[in-house]
Copies of this chain bind each other. A is one copy, B any other.
């Protein structure tokens, strides 16, 4: 039940961008890497899907970098995790019934659905803005 470094580093990355939101200059990965002590090369990989999902915009070249595509209170931690970790539900069958052979007669599914809802609520209710001010 561990969150991988993708989700954890990605959230830290997004918080840095959130802190920089509204400023003139975009924030380059080199700076984020320095502040968070994560390699640029690894951050590059994480930022690709975040950009593809439309959460981030980029500017290339010198004085380039990244900026949030939306305000910090319009992006939730749940969205970030969903993008970087894939489906975060504890068992696949919650989203994909064909995953479990004994789906029909399963007496544990209700359990995992309860767990799933608790997890989703705990991260989808929180925006970057909330996390920054906390």
Of A81, A108, A114, A123, most B-chain CB atoms within 10 Å: A108
Give the complex CA separation of A96 and B89 in angstroms: 24
- The residues of B that contact A122 with a CB separation of less than 8 Å are 114-115, 117-119
Number of copies: 2
By a CB distance below 8 angstroms, the chain B residues around A92 are 2
Query: Is A107 touching B8 in the complex (CB atoms < 8 A)?
Result: no
Q: Is the CB of B3 within 8 A of A102?
A: no
Contact with B along A66-107 (1 / 0, CB 8 A): 000000000001000100010011111000000001100001
Interface residues of A (CB under 8 A from B): 1-3, 7-8, 11-12, 15, 36-37, 77, 81, 85, 88-92, 101-102, 107-108, 110-112, 114-115, 117-119, 121-123, 126, 131-132, 134
Specify which of B81, B107, B110 is in contact with A12 (CB 8 Å cutoff): B107
> Which residues of chain B have C-beta atoms less than 8 A from A134's C-beta?
107, 110-111
A8-B108, A131-B111 are contacts. A36–B90 as well, Cβ < 8 Å? Answer: no
- B101 near A37 with CB under 8 A, answer yes
